[in-house]
Each structure stands twice: as C-alpha cells, then as structure tokens.
C-alpha cells in the first residue's frame, strides 16, 4: 500500500496567495488499524529552497549572514538572525540557485559545491524541502560586498566566524536557525578535522 492509497482529498480551499500560498484541506487518512479518519490541515507552500555553508579549512572559518527576520521577531527573538546563505529555487536547479544566492548574499563566487542532503524543515505545515550544500571558499573568490538585493528587502551583513566560535554560538543560543545549526554540525563532523 502506498500513501496514495491512504489519503482521500475531499476539499482544498485557497486561504491566501499574497506572499506565498496558504491552503486548507479536508481529507481522510487511513490509519494503521485500517479505519478512515477525517482531518483538516493547512499547508503553506513557499516552494523549495537551497542553503550552503562556505568553509575555509586552513583558517577554520565559515561564512554566515546576519539579517532581520520578522517571523522570528514576532515569536520573541529580539535580535538579528544569524543564518547560512539560502534562497528559494524559483524553478532553477538547486546548485544553480545556491551559487547565485551565495554571490548575492555573501559576495563570493564559489568553485566546487557539494550537496550533502535534503530535508523537510517543518513538515507539519510547510511544504518546503531544502537542499543542503557545503563548499570551500578563499578570499580570492570574493567578487563584491554581498548584502543581498535591496529590491527584495534584503539588508544582510556578512559574517566570517571560526567554526568553534560558530558552534559556541549555537550552544548559547546566538545561532538559532535550524538550517544553520544543521550545516554547522555537519561541518564539525564531516568537514573540519578536530583541532
């Protein structure tokens, strides 16, 4: 039996199509015991995205961004959010899109990038799947100051941090973005030798 055999969609209602798309759906779910249960769920569709952590092995550093995020602010986060560079795919291939995002946000034109995994970040309500990448960087790869695109409302500060400092910032709560935490722990386990 596939999931297609366990879901019967009855009604999908568009609630908002302003910034992204919010729908509510009435459906039946076939439970493990074989019984059908009526459910109602809202899904927020913002498209899929990609994120990347640039690292420098010799200097033991990573590049991150710092920017204002209104949803984090209204949930009590009274500081700018420190994050890995990221963006929505907008119909581009994940590697192509993340290269453009890194250049816009961080100001670096990368060479080799390596995909490490894909994850749903909040599957209870958001449809987005993120493609995660890492890539080495050198100062010679910097092509401009970064900072994002003002016409998209981006006002991004570029941070270069030591990997140990970045991990300490996760531990004390200064880095609270899930994709960034995942990338930093991946880097600690698989990119940077113990030091």
Residue 43 structure tokens: 């899904």
Domain locations in the chain as residue ranges: 3-45, 49-190
How far is Cα 146 from Cα 185, in angstroms, rounded to an integer?
A: 25
Residue 14 structure tokens: 């568009």
**The predicted structure's pLDDT at residue 153:** 80
Strands 49-56, 129-136: parallel, antiparallel or unpaired by DSSP?
A: parallel
CA atoms within 13 A on the CB side of 8: 8
**Fold for the domain defined by 49-190:** Nucleoside Triphosphate Pyrophosphohydrolase (3.90.79)
Residue 53 structure tokens: 């952590």
For residue 62, the Cα-to-chain-centroid distance in whole angstroms is: 16
How far is Cα 128 from Cα 46, in angstroms, rounded to an integer?
A: 6
pLDDT in tens, the chain (195 residues): 799 999 999 999 999 999 899 999 999 999 999 999 999 999 999 999 999 999 999 999 999 999 999 999 999 999 999 999 999 999 999 999 999 999 999 999 999 999 999 999 999 999 999 999 999 999 999 999 998 888 888 889 999 999 999 999 999 999 999 999 999 999 999 999 876
């Amino acid at each position: 039996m596939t999931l297609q055999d366990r879901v019967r969609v009855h009604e999908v209602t568009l609630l908002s199509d302003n910034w992204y798309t919010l729908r509510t759906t009435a459906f039946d779910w076939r439970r493990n015991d074989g019984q059908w249960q009526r459910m109602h769920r809202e899904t927020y569709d913002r498209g899929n995205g990609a994120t990347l952590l640039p690292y420098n092995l010799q200097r033991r550093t990573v590049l991150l961004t710092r920017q204002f995020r209104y949803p984090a602010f209204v949930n009590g986060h009274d500081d700018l959010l420190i994050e890995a560079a990221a963006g929505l795919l907008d119909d581009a291939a994940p590697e192509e899109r993340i290269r453009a995002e890194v250049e816009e946000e961080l100001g670096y034109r990368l060479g080799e990038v390596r995909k490490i995994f894909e994850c749903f970040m909040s599957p209870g309500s958001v449809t987005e799947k993120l493609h995660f990448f890492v890539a080495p960087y050198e100062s010679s790869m910097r092509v401009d100051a970064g900072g994002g695109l003002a016409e998209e409302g981006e006002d991004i500060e570029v941070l270069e941090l030591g990997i140990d400092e970045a991990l300490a910032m996760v531990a004390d709560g200064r880095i609270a973005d899930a994709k960034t935490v995942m990338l930093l722990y991946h880097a600690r386990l698989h990119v940077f030798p113990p030091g």
